[in-house]
Structure formats: C-alpha cells, structure tokens
Amino acid sequence: MTDDGAGDIGDLGALPLGHPARRLFALDPEADFLNNGSFGACPLPVTAAQDAIRREVERQPVAFFADEAPRRIRAAAARLAAFLGAAADDVVFVENATAGMNAVLRSLRFEPGDEILTTDHVYGAVRQVLTHLERQHGVVTVEARLPWPVTGEDELVAAVESRITDRTRLLVVDHIASRSALILPVARLAAMARARGLQVLVDGAHAPGQILLDVPALGADWVVGNCHKWLFAPRGAGFLWARRGAQEALHPPVISHGYGRGFVAEFDWIGTRDLSAWLAVPAAIDFLTALGVERVRNRNHVLAMAMGETIASAWSTGLGAPRDMYGAMVTIRVPGSAPATWEAGGALRQRLWREHRVEVPVMPVGDALHARISAQIFNVPQDYRRLAATLPVLAATL
C-alpha cells in the first residue's frame, strides 16, 4: 500500500461487471442484495487496505497519531476533494452524513420564528435535527410537498420556491432523496434559493459515486456526503464541503483541540478514534477509478432502470420519476392497497428478507408504498426476479 492509503487492486478495468465482480465482495451468495443504497457494500480490496492501515497504527500508535495522522488525514482529504472537484482545504471528513448535517445545522445561529425550508423527502434523521432546532431555538421547519409521481424538474423547483417566505433563512435539500431515490435539481434549487437570500445546505449522502459530482458547481454553501454508500469506502467515511466564506462559523459535533483554529483543524481532530475508514477513502477511489467511474455509473443506471421498468410492468404499477431523475436506485410502486406507512414498509422488508432472502427497502412515498431497488456492480438481472414474484403476494396480506 502506498503512503496515501492507495491499495494494490490489480487490473479491474478488464473485469466484467455483474457476477464476476461478486468475488470482490463478502456478500452472502444465497441472498439477492438489492439495497446497496442504505449502507453500501465495501469491496474486499478496500477492506484489505483498511486492515493494513489498522495494522500500521498498531505498530506504533503514538507516532502514528502524534506525528503521522495530521498529514495522512489531509492527504486522504485531498484525494477525495480532487474526486469531488473541490479544493483540498474546503473538504473535511466526518463520521457520516448525519454528523455532517449536524455540524452545519447546529453551528448556525437562528432567531425564534426563523424558517428552515426542506421537502417532504428529507431523511428522517435530518428531520430530527430540525426538530431539535425547533425546540432549542424556536425555528419553524417548513416541508415543501414534492409532486409524486414527478414529471420534470420545473415542478420540483416551483414546489420548493412556493414555500419561501420573508422568514425563510435556510434551504435544506437532498441531492438524492432516500425514500424516493429522486435526484433533485440541486444546482437549480440552490441558484433559486440564493437569489432569494437563503443559505443552502445539500444532503448528498447518496451522491458520491452514484452520479457525476462537481461539488462547488452545485452553488450551495455546504454539501455533505457519504463515501460508504456508493464510493466503496468503509463505513464511517463521510465528508463536509464548505464554501470559502461559509467555513468560519462551523464546528464539528465533537469539539476538541482544534477549536478556534479554523475549519480544517477543528474537523480533522475530534478525539482519538479509528481513522482507518477515512484513510482508506483513497483506496476506495482507486477501486472505482480502476473499474471505470463512467462505466460503473452508466452500467448501474441502465440496470436499475431496466429492472425498475420490468418489475413495474410485472406489477402493473409504475415508477415515481422519469429516467433522467434516477441514478442507480429506482422506486417502484407496490401493487395493491397496502397502507402507505413506515410500519407496513418495514414489515414487508423484513418478510422479504426472512422468507425469501431478498434485501430491499419498502417505504411510503406520496400516497403509496414503494420498493427502492439499487443496482451495484455485483448485481445482475436475475437478482431481481424473486422480488418481482414475491412482493405482490406479501403486500396482499397486509
């Protein structure tokens, strides 16, 4: 392994995607794993790079943390920043997207009555942070209801813009929404919001590795993302990008030695912790780059769309959005009249796994339950057959 955490991953560019790629993962061969979206799946070469980092730390922990760690964290952050199209010192690692969203939202100052605008697709944990701000500062969260099914970007932008008032301070918007898999037009939303005097925080938990990403070009003040979902990194590797001029007020959720010494110093050291996930991000980027960033992205999108359309046709239902508003995840309306609740969706997910060894999330979107399928490099069309056959039968029992 090289000094900046890059692993030896061989010639992956020639590896056919699909079944041959499965040997690169530890996934259960009996299962249909259709949910890369929730927690990712870390490839074995990246796990090996992480293990090597852990062993290196254990050879001389004090020298590693005291002398090596600051430089190594910055080197890994620089690799990630280059992948995101950003300047190295505008990017810091965080534990995960939740930590990044907390860092921004809990660093900002609000007056009672200030409004934070988000959408009804906002991720549940982020909604809880907003609830905390409501209780702590008396802010008001406004959820713009997005049309569903969606036909195009204009109606999404209009739905959000229509909820701006003269009390709105901040727009919190997903890049790719968890429950709907919808790619939101964040650059358009950010331009609109900033023109109306708002600050903009983008929750890009699902974006890195799934879609083409130029973070500064989104035009937001802050962008949060995960490397452990679609970028093949070990879990515990998220990031926060902040525009110059929007860094000074930020503090990590855990205050430590770097307090008051600037954005990078504050976030790079948040107490003694396992740094291996952050330091293995270059190995994950190497892995994706060796496979071909475009090749993986296109192949996963094409597979997700083809499977989504096939299943929707078998179920006589439909997808929630047009092709260009999905990446490597697609949401398909569940047939029948199962209640559109988290409880019903959770029960279906559990039964699919326990009785059929199919892992897929089922969540309410609009007025119906939807199954959200993911396509990752180890998936093949055959993986989606059990889902297509069994979910309608289970849904009819609810």
Ligand X SMILES: Cc1ncc(COP(=O)(O)O)c(C=O)c1O
Residues that bind ligand X (CB under 6 A): 38, 96-98, 123, 125-126, 174, 178, 203, 205-206, 226
Q: How far is the CB of 222 from ligand X (least distance, A)?
A: 13
Q: How far is the CB of 174 from ligand X (least distance, A)?
A: 5
The smaller minimum CB distance to ligand X, of residues 222 and 315, is found at 222
Q: How far is the CB of 54 from ligand X (least distance, A)?
A: 21
Indicate the burial class of 155 (C-beta count within 10 angstroms; 0-12, 13-18, 19 or more). exposed
The smaller minimum CB distance to ligand X, of residues 12 and 213, is found at 213
Pairwise CA distance, residues 83 & 209, whole Å: 9
Task: Evaluate whether 297 touches 208 at the Cβ level (below 8 Å).
Answer: no
Sign of CA dihedral 17, 37, 302, 86: negative
Of residues 137, 134, 135, the one with CA closest to residue 118: 134
Q: How far is the CB of 280 from ligand X (least distance, A)?
A: 16
The smaller minimum CB distance to ligand X, of residues 199 and 226, is found at 226
Of residues 120, 133, 254, the one with CA closest to residue 184: 120
Q: How far is the CB of 117 from ligand X (least distance, A)?
A: 16
Q: What ranges make up the beta strands (E) of the chain?
A: 32-33, 91-94, 115-119, 140-144, 168-174, 199-204, 222-226, 238-242, 329-333, 358-359, 362-365, 368-374
The smaller minimum CB distance to ligand X, of residues 226 and 331, is found at 226
Task: Evaluate whether 52 touches 193 at the Cβ level (below 8 Å).
Answer: no
Q: How far is the CB of 275 from ligand X (least distance, A)?
A: 17
The smaller minimum CB distance to ligand X, of residues 74 and 206, is found at 206
Sign of CA dihedral 92, 93, 98, 102: negative
What is the bridge-based pairing of β-strands 329-333 and 115-119?
unpaired
Q: How far is the CB of 374 from ligand X (least distance, A)?
A: 11
- What are φ and ψ of residue 264, in 5° steps? -65, -50
The smaller minimum CB distance to ligand X, of residues 223 and 388, is found at 223
The smaller minimum CB distance to ligand X, of residues 210 and 388, is found at 210
Of residues 143, 40, 119, the one with CA closest to residue 377: 40
